[in-house]
Amino acid sequence: MDIRDVHFAYPDGRKALRGVDLRIEHGQRVALLGPNGAGKTTLALHCNGIYEADAGSIHIGALPVTDANLPEIRRCVGLVFQDPDDQLFMPTVRDDVAFGPANLGLRGEELDVRVAEALDAVGAADVAGRAPHHLSGGEQRRVALATVQAMRPDLLVLDEPTSGLDPAGRRELVDVLRGLSITQLVITHDLPFALELCERAVIMNDGRATADGATADLLVDQGLLHANRLELPFGFDPAVARRDNRPTSPR
């Protein structure tokens, strides 16, 4: 993904993006950090054409994000929303996961294989016949991820994926995302999660990318965190996590 000098303002005139540049190489997992209102989700919604930039350009691979390319862009870019209820609306989990591929024209055994592969990839095969609203938060999150995986995207964009998860659900999600061989952009306020999952992080503030580097290097810079309204959980030391080479959760 290649984002170059992207600007965007909402209809009321509020500027949300002020010349954002961001390049993510194939296979990278990158955390997008920053305070509320920094422009993180707005930027994510540009990646699959939900919002259209006022200026600048976005390419997914060699494909520019333009109106003419939107069907293929939305297949290539899988967006997992913060609230699973925004993505899960069918009577059963299997129906939800099948919805996207079925709209592409898949039927019969080909569709069944696509659904089974997506559910297996996120460890949710055992809930295929259940109603999504009867699942736990962690299960719903993994099923929402499966609905996107079923489209076989090239880029996975996750908005606050640990929101509302208990420690066990968070651990399961880390394991699932680590097991996916796909480029990932992870929007999160959970700094230990970012360190655990992503080697690289980008900080946004006031519609701009203010820092870009190794996640561990950014999180040990207290001045940088303070300037961008980011705060580590009490008792969490990213320097220790980096030295031990095994990121730990705060106690």
Please report the pLDDT score of residue 247 as a whole number: 46
Residue 249 lies in a domain: no
Residue 77 lies in a domain: yes
Residue 152's φ and ψ, nearest 5 degrees, are: 50, 60
Please report the pLDDT score of residue 240 as a whole number: 79
Residue 251 lies in a domain: no
Please report the pLDDT score of residue 250 as a whole number: 42
Task: Please provide the average confidence, as pLDDT, over all residues in the chain.
Answer: 93
For the segment 109-163, what is each residue's pLDDT rounded down to a tens digit? 999 999 999 999 999 999 999 999 999 999 999 999 999 999 999 999 999 999 9
Distance CA 163, CA 174 (A): 13
Residue 48 lies in a domain: yes
Is pLDDT above 60 for 246?
A: no
Please report the pLDDT score of residue 79 as a whole number: 95
Residue 174 lies in a domain: yes
pLDDT band of 238, cuts 50, 70, 90: confident
State how many domains the chain has.
1
Domain that holds residue 22: 2-244
Distance CA 83, CA 91 (A): 18
For the segment 30-57, what is each residue's pLDDT rounded down to a tens digit? 999 999 999 999 999 999 999 999 999 9
Residue 250 lies in a domain: no
Please report the pLDDT score of residue 243 as a whole number: 62
62: domain CATH number is 3.40.50.300
Residue 69 lies in a domain: yes
Residue 165 lies in a domain: yes
For the segment 55-99, what is each residue's pLDDT rounded down to a tens digit? 999 999 999 999 999 999 999 999 999 999 889 999 999 999 999
